[in-house]
Amino acid sequence: MPPKFSKPIRTEHSASADQTPRGFRNPRGQRPQRTPRGGRSEFSDRRQPRDKSHLEQRTRIIEDAFHADIDSIRTNNLCFTQCIAQVLRKQSGIRTNEDHDAALADYYFELGSRHMSYIFRHTNLLHEDGALSLHELLYHQATARKIREGLQSLIQLDVGEVPISLQGRNNTMRFLMPLAHVVCDSNKSRAMIGYLTTDNFEPGKIPYSDAWFKPADFGDDQAREAQADELDGIDVASIFLRFESGHSNNVSIQHCPFRPDMFPLRYLVHGTNEKNLPSIRRLGLLPGVPVVEETMST
């Protein structure tokens, strides 16, 4: 009879064994679920779906703010619209590239930008399209506090450009001006602005996909001026904000459809296999056919 070794034979630790030093083997085709070395199984496995129960949830206060009537929210939204227009036109606060660089490097500006990124990307406060209204943000205590802690240089207001109907609301606009700068001048945030007009406003309603726009880059004065003029020509009832990307939760963002009259110097590029060209030339693009690549190009 061969001698009995002190260590187990190889087959007991081989890949074909039912139990290995790092845990039980799973049937072929399934992800292995191993206990980390030392048996510290309380640590989460990054391969598993993230537990989002700890994310901030909507409260009754936020819900009531979302379903508020137009009379109680319109004045603040008109003030914020005016703030956005002045920021886009560089009439107050950040006017030059030096101002822009200084603001981006400022502690409070960066703090506000990070807070907005957290609210719009990593909470359960959002609607299905990833948006929140200004009225909801003002009733969110942490956001209101961050706005109040904004840069003193960003509360400047060009009083001469304020409409007569809002000239008694200068303090409200100075309060909202830092938020307008974060949305329009923090280009890293990829923020978007949407609106409801007085004609299509309803409590608990969110904007349509064609009522959204992304503020133009800081150096594109012509585009920013055009966006400000468009806002001034709209009878705004409610302003909404959202980020276009970077979400860790499930949102469904419906982007504005392509309209050639809005982009006179651009064209749409559709990528496909060369073998499909005769059919496209003869029949055009057919609905339901997979798109390889679709992008805007200048």
- 187-237 pLDDT tens trace: 666 899 999 999 999 999 999 888 999 999 998 999 999 999 999 999 999
Shared-domain flag, residues 134 and 264: no
66 and 209 share one domain: yes
Shared domain check, 266 and 230: no
> Rounded to whole angstroms, how far apart are CA atoms 162 and 79?
9
Quick one: 79 and 200 in the same domain? yes
> Is residue 11, in this structure, part of any structural domain at all?
no
Provide the domain count of the chain. 2
Give the gyration radius of the chain's Cα atoms. Answer: 27
In a shared domain, residues 140 and 77: yes
Q: Could you report the per-residue pLDDT of 11-25, keeping only the tens digit for each?
A: 544 444 444 445 555
Domain membership of residue 272 as a residue range: 260-297
What pLDDT, in 10s, does the model give residues 233-257? 999 999 999 998 887 777 777 665 5
Are 228 and 125 in a shared domain?
yes
Measured distance between the N- and C-terminal CA atoms of the chain, rounded to whole angstroms: 84
> What is residue 146's predicted lDDT score, i.e. its pLDDT?
86
Give the relative orientation of helices 170-185 and 107-121 as an angle to the nearest 10 degrees: 80
For residues 155 and 114, membership in a common domain is answered with yes
| Confidence check: pLDDT of 274 > 50 | yes
pLDDT tens digits along 117-175: 899 988 999 998 889 999 999 999 889 888 888 777 789 899 998 988 898 899 999 99
Instruction: Return the number of other C-beta atoms located less than 10 Å from residue 24's C-beta.
Output: 12
| Residues 192, 278 within the same domain | no
Query: Are 233 and 92 members of one domain?
Result: yes
Looking at the structure, do residues 187 and 123 belong to the same domain, yes or no?
yes
